Structures are given as structure tokens and as C-alpha cells.
Amino acid sequence: MSASPNAPSASHSDSHSASAPLSAPARKREERKILGATLVGTTIEWYDFFIYAQAAGLVFGAQFFAPATSDNEALAQIISWATLGISFLFRPLGAAIAGHLGDRYGRKRILALTLVLMGLATALIGLLPTHAAIGMAAPILLIILRIIQGFSAGGEWGGAALLAVEHAPNGKRGLYGSYPQIGVPLGLGAATAVLLLLTALFGKEAYIDWAWRIPFLFSVILVIVGAIVRSRVSESPIFQEIQERADESSAPLRDLLRTHTGTVLKAAFIFAANNACGYMIIAFMGSYAAKKLGLPQTEVFLAVIIAAILWAILTFWSGSLSDKIGRTQTFAIGYILLFVLTIPVWMLIDRANIWMFGLALLLFVPGLALSYGPQSAMYAEMFPRSVRFSGVSVGYALGAIIGGAFAPMIAELLLESYGGTWAIGIYLMALCAISLIALAVTPSDLHKREL
């Protein structure tokens, strides 16, 4: 990637001193506070996002869409998965607006707004009457609230990623950037743990009937906690330096699309396969195992929680690994693992044995972690600072549309059309190949560059 005229020659350490000189212990305390805030905030944000994904697989087809499809269960489930994907179409809009504002007014303010917006939409879903109570208004309102979730998610990730990476010392951007990445598996683990608890306490029928609302309403408490934590952190030092130099673009989104479209598309295709494979674990595999194969739902939830814990640990490690061997190299190892193991993983799941299901998830997770942990640092290094929030947010959002947005729905359609999970495996392998090609045309020395 050629040097941008917006990229300053000052080192990262200079950016700390340019904004407000801190002693080494004070700087360490501030960095720990930043990392904790990005981790807590993204975990809450993705918890909100994932409880919808899981409810789409277990509840919404029957409660919101089956009556509208003459009780055609398969069609209702496909439509339910489609609502999961529709929200992704609004991620680029949220990313564009949040990125534009974040590049002009700072990362911290935008992160507070996205967290509150996501939490409100999630809580309102928990209060929403079903089709049986208000007819077609129920699925329409559900889709609108899901769109608001997607809009919020589009702006969340870029801000959290940059807040962590732009506070990192040289040589540790991958490590620091892994903290907001860990929010995804932790959010998944938290959402699944709540579902496990609810089904254990009330049973599957009560969960589908009314108890599914509890995790949505619980989001209100989590958002309050997250907002308090995020209010106590400082702004990104690089953004402060841009302001002090009067170096910010008056129209960062316009500048991004005018001069960095190719980089945005490259970022999107790099992420596509990871997002699609991730939504297999997040939404589809558990639903398939419980509803199609008849595995005990409680045990399926437990297997997903264990996989999420391993995913978080390996994501943290892979971010650090990318500081040593490079971003593209770490990504490539992950995608090669996913490419090779995808069909064997589905073969294990189809054994309809809970132990084989758990083993399949554990085999799938390392590839996911290696192709996710370095992402925050890699994206930050791909874009100049004046359009960085816009670039990383829009690239991430477009990658989610190409990858995970409709992956569960596509998987359901492939299963209905071909009658076997091998077709899903081929679909995921094709996406891995596309992401590997995008990596091949990305500079391999990003981790050595100055921000």
C-alpha cells in the first residue's frame, strides 16, 4: 500500500506526548482502562447482537413468521434467518455515518452512542408482542428493530478497534487490537450461557413461549454498565494529535471513497470468510444440531459455550502472534485451516452425537481465531489516520454482508436443496478461497508500519 499524504511521519510514541504527557505508570493504567473498556463494551454489544441470532434459529420462526406463512415451518425458518441478514445491509450505513463522525469528532463519543442504540433496540425486542397478539405488525416491528441493531453494530466495531490499537505501543498493536475482537466469542458465550440457564430453569417450551424475552430485557442493565465504563476512558491519542494539527478531513467519508475504494473492498473480502464461518457457530450449527439432528438443546448450548471460551483464548493469542509473524500470515494460516477442516467438521456434526458435535466446534475454532484476532490492527494499518474510522468500519460492514449476513439462510437453503451439509462445506470453502486471494494482494509488512 502506497504511503498516504494523510499519514504523518511522527512515531506512535510522539502521539502520546503530543496530546498530554503521561508518566509510564500513568500511561499503563490508562491503557489498561482503555483495553478493559473496549472489551466490556464489545462484549455487551455482541451479546445483544447474538441473542437475536440465536432466537432467530430457535424462536422467531414459530412466534413471528410461521402464522404469516400458513405454518410452513421450513419457510418460516428461512424468513427468520433472512431477518438476521437484512440487518447486515444497514451495517454499511451505520459504519459510514459513525466512521465519518468518528473521524471528525472522536472515537469515544461514537462508541457511547452505538452502545446505547444497540441496547435500546435489544430491550424493545424483548417487549415486542408476537404475531398471535398483533398480527403482521409483529414481524414488521421485529425487522425494524433488527435493522437498528445492524445500524448500531456497523459503527461499534471500528471505534472499539481503533480505540485499542491507537493506544498501543509499537510492536503490540496486534495484542491490544485483540481485546475488542475477544468481545465476539465472549458475547457469544454470555448469550449462550443465558439461554442455557433459561432452558434449564424453565424448559424448552417455556423458553420458546415467553422466557426468550429475558436475555433481551437484561440488556438494559448491561448497557448501563458498559456506558459507565466507556465514559471513563480517554480519547485516542492519534485522534487528539490530528485535532491539534488541524489535520482532520472535513469530509472523511468522501475522501475515503474517492481515494481508498480498493482498500475498502480488499478489507471486505479479507473478512468475508471469517464472518460466514463465525455465523455457523454463532447461529446455524447449534440450531441444526438441536432441531434437525435432535441433540439435547442444553448440551448443545454447553458445547457452544466451551467453544466460545477456546475461541476467546486463541483470539487473544493470535493477535499477539500477528505482532511477530505478520497480519496476513496469521490470517492465511487460519483460512487454510478452515478450508481444510470445513467438510470434516460437518461430517462430525452429522454423526448426531453430542461429543462429536463438541469436537467439531473445537476443530473449527482455531481457524476462526487466527483469522480474527489480528483484524483490528490489520485494518488500522491499512488506512491513513484521517479516514481510518470510516475505512475500517465500512470495510468491516461490507465484509459482513458478503460473509455472515445471509450465511445461515444460505446454509438452510443449501440443506433444503441438496439434502446434505457437504454443500454448506463447499460454500464455506469457496469463501475461504476468496479471502485468501484478497490476502495475497495485501502487503505482508503491515505490522512493521507506523500508525
The number of beta carbons lying within 10 Å of the beta carbon of residue 443 is 15
More confident position, 273 or 35: 273
**pLDDT for the residue 8:** 39
How far apart CA 47 and CA 188 sit, in angstroms, is: 6
| C-alpha torsion 321→323→327→332, nearest 10 | -20
Runs of H (alpha helix) within 106-172: 107-127, 131-134, 137-165
Inter-CA distances, 407 with 78, 81, 88, 272, Å: 11, 9, 11, 10
More confident position, 322 or 150: 322
pLDDT at 246 over 70: no
Cell of 257: 471513497
Query: Structural domains in the chain?
Result: 27-448 (1.20.1250.20)
**pLDDT for the residue 288:** 94
More confident position, 318 or 22: 318
**pLDDT for the residue 236:** 60
SS3 150: helix
Least confident of 11-15, 166-170, 309-313, 408-412: 11-15
Q: 198 and 210 in contact (C-beta within 8 Å)? A: no
Q: How many CA atoms lie within 13 A of 249 on its CB side?
A: 24
Q: How confident is the model at residue 45 (pLDDT cuts 50, 70, 90)?
A: confident
Sign of CA dihedral 313, 317, 319, 320: positive
Percent of the chain's residues with pLDDT above 70:
89
Q: What is the mean pLDDT of residues 48-58?
A: 87
Q: What is the mean pLDDT of residues 12-19?
A: 41
Least confident of 67-81, 245-259, 331-345: 245-259
Length of the chain: 451
Residue position matching grid coordinates 454423526: 351
Q: What is the mean pLDDT of residues 224-236?
A: 74
Q: How confident is the model at residue 25 (pLDDT cuts 50, 70, 90)?
A: confident
Least confident of 40-54, 232-246, 314-328, 352-366: 232-246
Cell of 68: 404469516
The model's pLDDT over 86-137, given as tens digits with 9 standing for 90+, comes to 888 898 888 888 877 777 776 677 777 888 888 899 999 999 999 999 999 9
Q: How confident is the model at residue 18 (pLDDT cuts 50, 70, 90)?
A: very low
Q: What is the mean pLDDT of residues 163-186?
A: 92
How far apart CA 109 and CA 235 sit, in angstroms, is: 9
pLDDT at 384 over 70: yes
How much is the pTM? 0.83
Cell of 251: 469530509
DSSP string spanning 394-408? HHHHHHHHHTTTTHH
Q: How confident is the model at residue 68 (pLDDT cuts 50, 70, 90)?
A: low
Sign of CA dihedral 81, 91, 183, 381: positive
Q: How confident is the model at residue 9 (pLDDT cuts 50, 70, 90)?
A: very low
Q: What is the mean pLDDT of residues 413-418?
A: 94
How far apart CA 159 and CA 183 sit, in angstroms, is: 13
Give the burial class of 291: count Cβ atoms within 10 A of its Cβ; 0-12 exposed, 13-18 middle, 19 or more buried. middle
**pLDDT for the residue 89:** 87
How far apart CA 124 and CA 145 sit, in angstroms, is: 8
